[in-house]
Amino acid sequence: MKIDQNLIIDSNNKNLQTHQSHFNFLADSLSKKGKNVDAIVSRLKDFQVAIPSWALGAGGTRFGRFSYYGEPSNLEQKLEDVGLIHALTKTAGAVSLHIPWDIPTDYKAIKELANDLDIKFDAVNSNTFQDQEKAKESYKYGSLSNTSSAIREQAIQHNIDVINIGNQLGSKSLTVWLADGSCFPGQNNFQTALQNTENSLKTIYKKLPEDWNMLIEYKPYEPNFYSTVIQDWGTSFMLANACGDKAYSLVDLGHHLPNSNIEQIVSILMSKGKLGGFHFNDSKYGDDDLTVGSIKPYALFLIFNELVYGMQNNPQNPDLAWMIDASHNIKDPLEDLIQSLEAIQEAYAKALLIDQAELKAAQLNNDVVKCQEILQDAYRTDVRPLIEKARLDAGGVVHPIKTYRDLNIRNTLIKERGKNTVATGL
Ligand code: LRH
Ligand code: MN
């Protein structure tokens, strides 16, 4: 399914007048505050977030999974769904594949389809947290950290295979997340597990093409519930340093213990030039993989404040990989992803309103109240007209969710694909 551009234009014509008056009002008040509205709108227009290929169907938990029907049943249909989101939002111009869930059968065709949909291939993800049917070795007790060299070899080879798949698609980075760890005290020798992991990552790192990055994702627990080898940012940072200049830490917002100060972690990693990218989502308790900004929107804003500061002051840090990592247990996956994109753009736009120099001056002056006034003036600004303008300028729609529903896209997908298709992924 592709959305006819005329339907996009029709949908916008209904909302253009309201948008225009909101935009003019906001642009006028922001210009009076010395904000460069055009610059902010073009930053938002250029801002592209990768959609996780494993989150285009209904997610689920061990307690159940409720399909949303019309799910994509192959990689082509997954790219079409990313294409639908991108046609409406113009900020989803990339997809992050997960191997082996999304191994292309026809690389030429897949690249042509992606090109036609104006979608790039962002980081490719390896998977050594599940056993594959014909696999010789099991990852039950770990992969890159496993006490068995044969099992570590198999996991290393898988990551090298993932690099080769990504290389054929034009991807430029490998994301490594390890479930490796233990469920009970005494089960693992922590030092052996860490050293095995470091040696294994170094072996994979040597196979990275010159212009590739390795993104090392950390997580405190699940599926192991006593220890995880790469449990926190410090361990990921240490391993990235041990590997080399092309290795970085990946921050998944859901991979932090309650009340962690993620914005501080982001600032530390950027100051050391070791922040590689994000898996955006939100959570109330654990790795809930909920819609971005649905639980802690202010925390997301504070993270983007550190990102904007870092992008202005840390040339040592590379361009970041912006990716969503969510799972949709009760929402339409496409609507959920559209809402996540909106929340990410909103946090970024609000952070771009912060005068970093003014904030730095108030900080140096220990004017604590003024610091908060500067942050919250930006946070309390309704920036949606700026995001709408960025979408319109890029050929998208003013209100993606409304248009998605007005065009009856889910039912059209169900007609095309039926009710029994199940998307690979989580
Ligand atoms: C682990 C994780 C990781 C992916 C998986 C789908 O919780 O965040 O990024 O490999 O989800
Ligand atoms: Mn993740």
Q: What is the pLDDT along the chain (426 residues), one digit of tens a residue?
A: 899 999 999 999 999 999 999 999 999 999 999 999 999 999 999 999 999 999 999 998 899 999 889 999 999 999 999 999 999 999 999 999 999 999 999 999 999 999 999 999 999 999 999 999 999 999 999 999 999 999 999 999 999 999 999 999 999 999 999 999 999 999 999 999 999 999 999 999 999 999 999 999 999 999 999 999 999 999 999 999 999 999 999 999 999 999 999 999 999 999 999 999 999 999 999 999 999 999 999 999 999 999 999 999 999 999 999 999 999 999 999 999 999 999 999 999 999 999 999 999 999 999 999 999 999 999 999 999 999 999 999 999 999 999 999 999 999 999 999 999 988 877
- Domains of the chain, earliest start first: 20-417 (3.20.20.150)
Contact by Cβ (8 Å): 353, 31? no
Contact by Cβ (8 Å): 126, 141? no
Q: Which pLDDT score is estimated for 416? A: 96
Q: Which pLDDT score is estimated for 52? A: 97
Cα(177) to centroid of ligand 1, in Å? 7
Pocket test for ligand 1, best of 252, 280, 323, 324 (most atoms within 8 A of CB): 252
Strands 247-252 and 275-280, by their bridges, are parallel
Cα(79) to centroid of ligand 1, in Å? 20
Nearest atom in ligand 1 to 252's CA = 8
Q: How many CB atoms lie within 10 A of CB 114?
A: 23
Nearest atom in ligand 1 to 127's CA = 10
Cα(342) to centroid of ligand 2, in Å? 19
Q: Which two tokens stand for residue 412?
A: 């059209």
- Protein residue with least CA distance to atom 1, ligand 1: 177
Q: Which pLDDT score is estimated for 67? A: 87
Pocket test for ligand 1, best of 51, 99, 217 (most atoms within 8 A of CB): 217
Nearest atom in ligand 1 to 254's CA = 8
Is the preceding omega at residue 258 within 30 degrees of 0, hence cis?
Answer: no
Ligand 1 pocket residues where CB is under 6 Å: 54, 125, 177, 217, 219, 252, 279, 287, 325, 426
Cα(382) to centroid of ligand 2, in Å? 29
Q: Which two tokens stand for residue 163?
A: 């690099």
List phi, psi (to 5°) of 133.
-45, -65
- Protein residue with least CA distance to atom 4, ligand 1: 177
- Give dist(CA 113, CA 118) in Å, integer: 9
- Give dist(CA 276, CA 264) in Å, integer: 15
Q: E-strand spans in 292-337?
A: 321-324
Nearest atom in ligand 1 to 125's CA = 10
Cα(223) to centroid of ligand 1, in Å? 11
C-alpha closest to that of 255 among 216, 220, 295, 282: 220
Closest ligand to residue 128's CA: 1
Q: Which pLDDT score is estimated for 413? A: 97
Closest ligand to residue 278's CA: 2
- The helix or strand, by DSSP H or E, that contains position 181, with its residue range, turns out to be strand 181-182
Pocket test for ligand 1, best of 178, 231, 325 (most atoms within 8 A of CB): 325
- Protein residue with least CA distance to atom 3, ligand 1: 177
Nearest atom in ligand 1 to 250's CA = 9
Q: Which pLDDT score is estimated for 340? A: 98
Closest ligand to residue 175's CA: 1
DSSP per residue, 211-270: T-EEEEE--SSSS-SSEETT-SHHHHHHHHHHH-TTEEEEEETTSS-TT--HHHHHHHHH
Closest ligand to residue 55's CA: 1
C-alpha closest to that of 278 among 340, 314, 322, 243: 322
Q: What is each CA distance from 28 to 33, 34, 37, 318, in whole angstroms?
A: 9, 10, 9, 34
C-alpha closest to that of 391 among 1, 14, 2, 16: 16
Q: Tens digit of pLDDT for each residue in 154-183?
A: 999 999 999 999 999 999 999 999 999 999
pTM of the model: 0.97
- Give dist(CA 82, CA 334) in Å, integer: 8
Q: How many CB atoms lie within 10 A of CB 161?
A: 14
List phi, psi (to 5°) of 168.
-70, -20
- Protein residue with least CA distance to atom 6, ligand 1: 426
Q: Tens digit of pLDDT for each residue in 92-116?
A: 999 999 999 999 999 999 999 999 9
- The helix or strand, by DSSP H or E, that contains position 304, with its residue range, turns out to be helix 297-313
Cα(122) to centroid of ligand 2, in Å? 14
- Give dist(CA 323, CA 334) in Å, integer: 15
